[in-house]
């Protein structure tokens, strides 16, 4: 991912007010340049803080459109880095079924199961939607900082994965060049 490609986040929730909350919280991650920041940089130099990622948020109200968007993103070379899926989204498929279908399409996407219900069995979902290191849970009501931390972590992970892929490609090229 280059700096010109935004980190894509998909949210599927049937509650319009919650979708608005996602938008508000994730939009708050956008880098802001105000006069005070410019003056601080002139006086003290640029901060060592890592730059906030540019995030492209896509919201839908059902599981089927979420699956279709993931498929389309992969087809066009613009995959989603994360999907936040509400467990219950009547009348369509559940977030758990959407997670299974999304995982079948994309083994690298980070999937967050979002639920206000305590009856969600993490072991069962982990078995059905592996790998466990790319499956997460978020309880409703969530805190803004929790959601932001997920997005920041997933964005950083995507960048690390990209660098690892580049290093592996370079290593393979080196081996091919010098070892035949």
So what's the pLDDT on residue 151? Answer: 96
Q: Would residue 157 count as lying in a domain?
A: yes
Rounded distance, CA 169 to CA 167, Å? Answer: 5
> What CATH number does the domain containing 99 carry?
3.40.50.2300
Q: Would residue 2 count as lying in a domain?
A: no
- Between 16 and 38, whose confidence is greater? 16
- Between 35 and 98, whose confidence is greater? 98
Give the pairing of strands 7-12 and 135-139. unpaired
Q: Would residue 150 count as lying in a domain?
A: yes
**Cα 12 to Cα 63, 153, 165, distances in angstroms:** 6, 20, 29
So what's the pLDDT on residue 32? Answer: 63
3-state secondary structure of 113: strand
- Between 56 and 175, whose confidence is greater? 56
Domains of the chain: total: 1
Query: What does the pLDDT average to over 21-49?
Result: 77
Q: Would residue 78 count as lying in a domain?
A: yes
- Between 118 and 92, whose confidence is greater? 92
Quote the pTM value.
Answer: 0.83
């Amino acid at each position: 991912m280059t700096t010109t490609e935004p980190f894509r986040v998909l949210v599927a929730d049937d509650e319009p007010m919650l979708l608005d909350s996602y938008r508000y919280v994730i939009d708050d991650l956008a880098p802001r340049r105000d006069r005070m920041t410019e003056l601080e940089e002139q006086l003290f130099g640029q901060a060592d803080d890592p730059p906030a990622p540019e995030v492209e948020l896509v919201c839908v109200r059902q599981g089927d459109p979420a699956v279709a968007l993931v498929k389309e993103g992969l087809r066009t070379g613009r995959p989603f880095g994360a999907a936040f899926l509400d467990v219950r989204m009547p009348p369509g498929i559940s977030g758990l079924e959407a997670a299974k279908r999304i995982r079948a399409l994309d083994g690298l996407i980070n999937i967050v199961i979002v639920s206000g219900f305590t009856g969600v069995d993490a072991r069962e979902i982990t078995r059905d939607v592996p790998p466990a290191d790319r499956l997460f849970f978020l309880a409703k009501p969530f805190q803004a900082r929790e959601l932001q931390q997920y997005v920041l972590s997933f964005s950083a992970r995507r960048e690390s994965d990209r660098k690892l892929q580049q290093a592996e490609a370079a290593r393979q090229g080196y081996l091919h060049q010098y070892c035949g």
